[in-house]
Structure 1
Amino acid sequence: MAKIRNIDLGEFPLLLAPMEDVSDPPFRAVCKANGADLMYTEFISSEGLIRDAAKSVQKLDIFEYERPIGIQLFGSDIETMRACGEIATKAGPDLIDINYGCPVKQVACKGAGAALLQDIPKMVAMTKAVVESTHLPVTVKTRLGWDESTKNIQEVAERLQDIGIEALTIHGRTRVQMYKGEADWTLIGKIKENPRIKIPIFGNGDIDSPEKALEYKNRYGVDGIMIGRASIGYPWIFNEIKHFLKTGEHLALPTIQDRIDVCKHHLDFSIRWKGNHVGIVEMRRHYANYFKGIPHFKEFRMRLVTAFSYDEILEILANVQAFYAQGELVAE
């Protein structure tokens, strides 16, 4: 049974990874409805939060149905991160997560995200400051190290546990690898075997099928799995993995109707949260993913990404429904 302080996550929780421009409340809503056990906000810039930048502040929005939910912060200045721990606490999440894993240049080159893997003492001091800033559990997401020669995650895990973090998620790549090559979970397994480590350890990287989830659960002994890219356009993956772990059998693949229903749910929330225009425009990036692998879908996709009204989108989705046999299994 995985627990973060008093947050009971069940026997083997599946976590939705915080993904910039993806894991906003509308996306989280469809993932929660399809089995995600713990979710996080998109990562929030501590500098943006301190400046009261609208985009950063909006990312603090959380909803009761999402619980348990974590707010994820990133930054390069210790005192700014301490202040943001206090701000995030007031937003009422169940926990606060610190991002030491983001590999993108705009973040790492400013000394935040995965850049802290090059300065473990600063990472420890920053984490301690956030832990001291809140009464909530603090967790961390990070990578194996900066590059092949600095895979220091075993030291990181011990030192961060010692100063008070209550769970650790590890992506099985270095920063230099970005998202290329295969994720290596070997060191994640070694951390789980370390008798000093008492906090939950969650593995992340390349889990894109129920079979792989079961294999990695058994091989590396992690307390749960975080899923990122495989959930984009396919929130069904959470319940598919849960069903497979429990029964050894596969759930039926989502039908065209399932895909349309999730699309509408996502679109409706997007409009409610962001307003009509922004909600419709930002939804466009998701259509190709929701209908990925569907034959002859290109024309519908082109219409969806150019539609400007809610009624027009609903009409196109009705046309999709009519074009494909309802109940047909559509994954290729």
Structure 2
Amino acid sequence: MKIGNVEFGPYPVFLAPMEDVTDIGFRLLCKRFGAAMVYSEFVAADALVRMVNRSLEKLAVCDDERPVAIQIYGKEPGPVADAARIVVERARPDMLDLNFGCPVKRVAGKGAGAGMLQNIPKMLEITRAVVDAVDIPVTVKTRLGWDESSKVIVDLAERLQDCGIRALTIHGRTRAQMYTGEADWTLIGEVKNNPRMTIPIIGNGDITSPERARECFDCYGVDAVMVGRATFGRPWIFKEIMDVLNPESVSVAHEAVKSGYPVMSADWKIDVLKEQVLTSVRRIDEYRGILHSRRHLAASPVFKGIPNFRETRIAMLRAETVDELFAILERAREAVRQVTD
């Protein structure tokens, strides 16, 4: 599979763009574990045009995470195209992705993100403007439609392709569903099997295991799959998936973290989470690095089964220094050992 000039190996698995989740530290760790491409947190076009520092900081990328895509969103062609130029000038990512899928009220409710599914002509106008504005591949991420009665993705995919995008990611839910219910991949498969579609189709939604990733490749014929919420506290999911999809590939798990424990053991996974914290702190700063990381720790499946974990989870979410957070993790490590022994 190829997007622009970027070649991907067999069965590529991408890290989805997620606000306050896919900071550079987390992206680097997922890349080490086998993510074929990683995406930034989404960035508001209006904020980039106004040169808001917090948004400009999200454009930081490094060569170790390439290929990398930066995702932006907005609701007017001019500002979004201007923001796209800023992204290319400052970060030179491998791809620029347009967010037409975010369902949260503060985005979709104002007409951006998935809100664009209620204004398809404006969506297409923005897409054409951005394609014309930059010299790197432009891709789109969207949903099946606004609600159950308006699943427009099959026709919309062709129209987006006609605008000049180089790949399309489809989340198998409507905006009305938010993140509830099961993702419906049947329409994703219909888009992929449409003979008029020539660009790569990336499927997204409920990829939570290697078996599900394999099923989606085999049953729906997608060119790549994208993993989102299942990565929370589990960056090693990319190793798990690639060990099944492409077992001939060389595992880099032993190089991803410095740990004296067996790869994929509970102790090793806790060391991975500690490395995630340190990487984010080094790349951002202590306060924000911890802010990005602690939600992963609190959600990590490695701590499943610990008695009275609620109190530990709250402590993780309140920790403000690396020393404080690591002390909590070491206590949690002992609790995990007691459960698994």
TM-score (norm 2): 0.89
Query: Structure 1 pair 329/149, CA: closer, same or farther in 2 (3 Å)?
Result: same
Helix, strand or coil at the partner of 1:148: coil
Q: Answer yes or no: is the 8 Å Cα contact 1:16–1:38 preserved in 2.
A: yes
Compute the RMSD of aligned alpha carbons: 2.3
* Alpha-carbon distance between aligned partners in 2 of 1:292 and 1:253, rounded to the nearest angstrom: 17
Q: Report the equivalent of 2:256.
A: none
* Alpha-carbon distance between aligned partners in 2 of 1:253 and 1:294, rounded to the nearest angstrom: 21
Q: Answer yes or no: is the 8 Å Cα contact 2:303–2:332 preserved in 1.
A: no
Q: Answer yes or no: is the 8 Å Cα contact 2:81–2:133 preserved in 1.
A: yes
Percent of matched pairs sharing the same residue: 48
Q: Answer yes or no: is the 8 Å Cα contact 2:97–2:140 preserved in 1.
A: yes
2:293 to 283, 296, 302: 283
Letter in 1 for 2:96: I
**Residues matched between the structures, number:** 326
**Structure 1 position 28 matched with structure 2 position 10:** no
Equivalent positions of 1:295-314 (< 5 A) are: 295-296=306-307, 298=309, 300-314=312-326
Measured after TM superposition, the shift of residue 161 of structure 1 is 1.0
* Alpha-carbon distance between aligned partners in 2 of 1:286 and 1:97, rounded to the nearest angstrom: 24
Measured after TM superposition, the shift of residue 61 of structure 1 is 0.9
Measured after TM superposition, the shift of residue 254 of structure 1 is 2.9
Q: Answer yes or no: is the 8 Å Cα contact 1:254–1:329 preserved in 2.
A: no
TM-superposition CA deviations, 1:37-68 (whole Å, max 9, x none): 11111110001111111221111111111100
Query: Structure 1 pair 26/192, CA: closer, same or farther in 2 (3 Å)?
Result: same
Q: Report the equivalent of 1:184.
A: 184
Q: Report the equivalent of 2:146.
A: 146
Measured after TM superposition, the shift of residue 247 of structure 1 is 5.1
Helix, strand or coil at the partner of 1:98: strand
**Structure 1 position 110 matched with structure 2 position 110:** yes
Letter in 2 for 1:20: E
* Alpha-carbon distance between aligned partners in 2 of 1:145 and 1:323, rounded to the nearest angstrom: 45
* Alpha-carbon distance between aligned partners in 2 of 1:258 and 1:220, rounded to the nearest angstrom: 34
Q: Answer yes or no: is the 8 Å Cα contact 1:253–1:329 preserved in 2.
A: no
Helix, strand or coil at the partner of 2:246: helix
Bigger mean CA offset, 129-138 vs 309-318: 309-318
Q: Report the equivalent of 2:88.
A: 89
* Alpha-carbon distance between aligned partners in 1 of 2:129 and 2:211, rounded to the nearest angstrom: 40
* Alpha-carbon distance between aligned partners in 1 of 2:25 and 2:164, rounded to the nearest angstrom: 32
Q: Report the equivalent of 2:212.
A: 212
* Alpha-carbon distance between aligned partners in 2 of 1:203 and 1:281, rounded to the nearest angstrom: 29
User: Runs of 5+ in structure 1 lacking a partner?
Assistant: none
**Structure 1 position 198 matched with structure 2 position 169:** no
* Alpha-carbon distance between aligned partners in 2 of 1:186 and 1:138, rounded to the nearest angstrom: 25
Helix, strand or coil at the partner of 1:150: coil
Letter in 2 for 1:285: R
Letter in 2 for 1:115: G
Q: Report the equivalent of 1:74.
A: 73
User: Runs of 5+ in structure 2 lacking a partner?
Assistant: 254-261
Measured after TM superposition, the shift of residue 306 of structure 1 is 4.1
Query: Structure 1 pair 156/297, CA: closer, same or farther in 2 (3 Å)?
Result: same
* Alpha-carbon distance between aligned partners in 2 of 1:292 and 1:259, rounded to the nearest angstrom: 10
Q: Report the equivalent of 1:130.
A: 130
Measured after TM superposition, the shift of residue 29 of structure 1 is 1.9
TM-score (norm 1): 0.91
Letter in 2 for 1:296: P
**Structure 1 position 101 matched with structure 2 position 111:** no
* Alpha-carbon distance between aligned partners in 2 of 1:253 and 1:293, rounded to the nearest angstrom: 19
Equivalent positions of 1:151-162 (< 5 A) are: 151-162=151-162
TM-superposition CA deviations, 1:64-104 (whole Å, max 9, x none): 11100001010001100110110011111001000011111
